[in-house]
Amino acid sequence: MATPAATTASPAKRKPVFIKVDQLKPGTSGHTLTVKVVSSKTVIQKGRSASVNPRPTRIAECLVGDETGTIVFTARNEQIDLMKPGATVILRNAKIDMFKGSMRLAVDKWGRVEVTDPASFEVKEDNNLSLVEYELERVDLLLKAKYDGIPSHPAS
């Protein structure tokens, strides 16, 4: 008995929702955005001669942005070759990593970096989100329990 072709087709892909740099928040992921590369600086370049994986490791910090602001993008290995100053790129499934209390944009193996046609916007360089320092606050569980109406000590 043959199965109809319609049932084996993959579900329709949903359209990506593009966001702007100023909408990025700590601890978020799944972002798709179009940015221009302002600058790129290699910070780590080392080979792995004795390793099982002979591929070299390269990391670069690239300042990228749009008309709403800028952020540091951490490019890895082959991504670095695409991040040339002046290039316009689409970052798909990007995530925010925290590094020393500040936000960094990154695309891991589940995302994609694509060079696209030059964008018409001017990058707003005076709003760098990576310069904002965030502090991790630890919530005291006892204090939280009191506010939630939960007794902090069991009844005797």
**Which tens digit of pLDDT belongs to each residue from 13-57?**
778 889 999 999 999 999 999 999 999 998 887 765 555 556 678
Question: For the CA atoms of the chain, what is the radius of gyration?
Answer: 22
At 7 the pLDDT is 53
At 130 the pLDDT is 94
Convert the pLDDT of each residue in 63-108 to its tens digit: 999 999 999 999 999 999 999 999 999 999 999 999 999 999 999 9
CATH superfamily of 16-147: Nucleic acid-binding proteins (2.40.50.140)
Q: What is the pTM of this model?
A: 0.75
Domain layout of the chain by residue ranges: 16-147
Instruction: Tell me how far apart the alpha carbons of residues 6 and 88 are, in angstroms, rounded to a whole number.
Output: 38
Q: What is the largest CA-CA distance in the chain?
A: 71
Segment 95-122 mean pLDDT: 94
